Chain A
């Protein structure tokens, strides 16, 4: 992969001048994914923050071909683009190598677009689906989604006199995608650019359907200072709220191990959406979130230990 100095000289495929909030994590995801993918890329996006802030007519932030059609169908839309590519390649009408990347927020991916995504990867299209997961419907004003964590305050599961925020734990979409037995699934986070870009490069080198779930702090919905987005992302990994790992052909590999696993309160305590949990009477909920996080991390360690070890390039069998 290119180093930072080289990357700084690359042509921007996702440009500035878009209308995202100050401190938006979604645009960091789009920019870094495209930096790793390069110009021979066609992008599809679900309706959502990324789409509305980047394509306000007559402007566009996309220097690659881009399509948005609706909310729940990013997977199906990119399927159609890729199907045409296959058809033209077979007919001898086209000869370029092209990456097909679909973006969707957690609303468009975990919830309304899950069927479309599941269908697309089951059919085996040669696509990379990137979920920019900010844990709620941020574009419509912070409503709960299947990705929203337990205890979070959202506008459709608000904290009230009797409610303590969202009652349910978040859905584990990454594992749902692993269960599709696709060749590449990963979790990444805003704030660890090298890890994210490595994963994108690796995914795009593999034929078939790929999925990367990128944890994306949202300063509006999570309620923190806009300059702290990348810091929030790294804190998500350091608390193991969002472990960074990849699953290649079913084999788990953790790509970032925090030196010291920080308590979830370090992450909860700096976000406005969890402010109510800091009251003594809500300590039980924080304990539950810590237990959920610990269990998730331990399960991941077990899965990694049961996986075939990753082959280091130096140990790879030499061609005969």
Chain B
């Protein structure tokens, strides 16, 4: 196993550190709270000659992703970072990057979408582009943010699918934590050299990128893309395992926390999973058989694996940090529900919408969810959608 270095870093610093070690050919980015620091710190690495990267300080996020597409199509390892409205402004180009099968890596610091304008965490930005054809990886803390960024480069280039790695705005992005990072050389070896098969700067073999498909080809090209997304699943697992061999921290599609013998569990992504682990420990100390499942990879959605991990539970609560806008459950809950249906599992399934616009989620509130789950097991609590911590 490779040597580790222990540092105190915020989530943003951890992501910028990963980018320094990855040393991409091009970074094109635009500032937006709370992701600004990532590119700001990275720009200082460029200014100090610590990386070979050409930094393109574009005039909008739309242009950031457009320039990333130009660079990646030209044959370069390419990265960017953004948040919220920035990701929304990029939305058009996110679909194009995925359709062109360009392995761009994007660090997204989750922040609520306007309106009302708000700079704090929820997952509405990432959820808005969940159908864009990108691999989406959520991080619980700064350590995972670093680890996911290093893995993302390798996943994107092997699967030829762009990857977004998210952290929770301010909670992770600005929270200082103890993290372990690999040596520069180990990261360099891990990500390797990027060798594109066809690229614009290969003048000996001119290619046309972004051609027009009519009804006779569009579906075939989309079908190939859909298949590539399916094929990325073993790639994600392989890279997670390989990273584990190097760092001692292995990654899969999700993390199970005291789940295998649990009667009931919460499913939650991002930083709230950390808070929920504390609650699980407290309740376990009282003899309650409770657990947690933390999805890490939201796209592609590991439906069968998740259903298998949840199959022995008597009741499940899914916590969503965004709303679907469909007068039904949040996006994570809907997908969990679909996964259970396909596995012929009918469970008591509660949905909790929490933390919109950075509203704090408290330990007592998570404890109450486990109490609700206990009641659901007894049959005295009917499945419904609950909005936590909001004045009704």
Contact = CB atoms under 8 A, between A and B. Distances in A.
Contacts of A52: 212
A66 to B, nearest CB: 5
A116 B203 CA distance: 26
B262 interface: no
Given A63-B206, A119-B63, A58 B74 contact: no
Interface stretch (B48-56, B250-258, B290-298, B312-320): B48-56
Contacts of B28: 79-80, 83
Main secondary structure of the interface of B (DSSP, over half): mixed
B212 A76 contact: no
B294 to A, nearest CB: 35
Pick the most buried of B28, B68, B200: most chain A CB atoms within 10 A of its CB.
B200
Contacts of A60: 208, 211
Contacts of A40: 203
Closest 5 CB pairs of A and B: A80-B70, A119-B59, A80-B67, A76-B63, A76-B66
Interface in A76-107: 76-88, 90-91, 94, 96, 98
B79 to A, nearest CB: 12
B69 interface: yes
Contact of B67 (A42, A83, A118): A83
Interface stretch (B92-100, B122-130, B332-340, B360-368): B92-100
Given A66-B208, A67-B200, A73-B93, A80 B214 contact: no
A15 to B, nearest CB: 12
Interface of B: 25-26, 28, 52-54, 56-60, 62-64, 66-76, 78, 92-93, 96, 100, 200-203, 206-214, 217
Contacts of A69: 66, 69-70, 73, 93, 96, 100, 209-210
Interface string A48-75: 0001100111101011111111101101
Interface in A106-125: 115-116, 118-120, 122-123
B74 A84 contact: yes
A155 to B, nearest CB: 22
Given A84-B54, A88-B76, A90-B54, A55 B66 contact: no
Contact of B66 (A64, A80, A88): A80
Contacts of B54: 83-84, 86-87, 90
Given A57-B212, A77-B70, A119 B96 contact: no
Contacts of B52: 87, 90-91
A55 B66 CA distance: 19
A79 B96 CA distance: 17
Pick the most buried of A42, A55, A80: most chain B CB atoms within 10 A of its CB.
A80
A116 B60 CA distance: 8
Given A66-B206, A83-B54, A84-B54, A77 B69 contact: yes
B52 to A, nearest CB: 5
A44 interface: yes
Contact of B26 (A42, A67, A80, A119): A80
Interface residues of A, number: 48
Nearest to A64: B206
Nearest to B209: A67
A68 B73 CA distance: 10
B26 A78 contact: no
Interface of A: 39-40, 42, 44, 51-52, 55-58, 60, 62-70, 72-73, 75-88, 90-91, 94, 96, 98, 115-116, 118-120, 122-123
Contacts of A39: 203
Given A88-B25, A122-B59, A116 B66 contact: yes
A81 B217 contact: no
A42 B200 contact: yes
Nearest to A120: B63
A295 B342 CA distance: 73
Contact of B206 (A65, A77, A83, A85): A65
A36 to B, nearest CB: 17
Given A65-B200, A123-B56, A73 B66 contact: yes
Contacts of A56: 211-212, 214
Contact of A76 (B67, B206, B207, B214): B67
A66 B209 contact: yes
A136 B21 CA distance: 48
Nearest to A71: B92
B66 A77 contact: yes
A313 B213 CA distance: 50
Given A76-B67, A84-B75, 18 more contacts: A42-B200, A51-B212, A60-B211, A62-B208, A63-B206, A66-B210, A69-B66, A69-B93, A76-B58, A76-B62, A77-B69, A80-B71, A81-B201, A83-B76, A84-B78, A87-B25, A98-B201, A119-B58
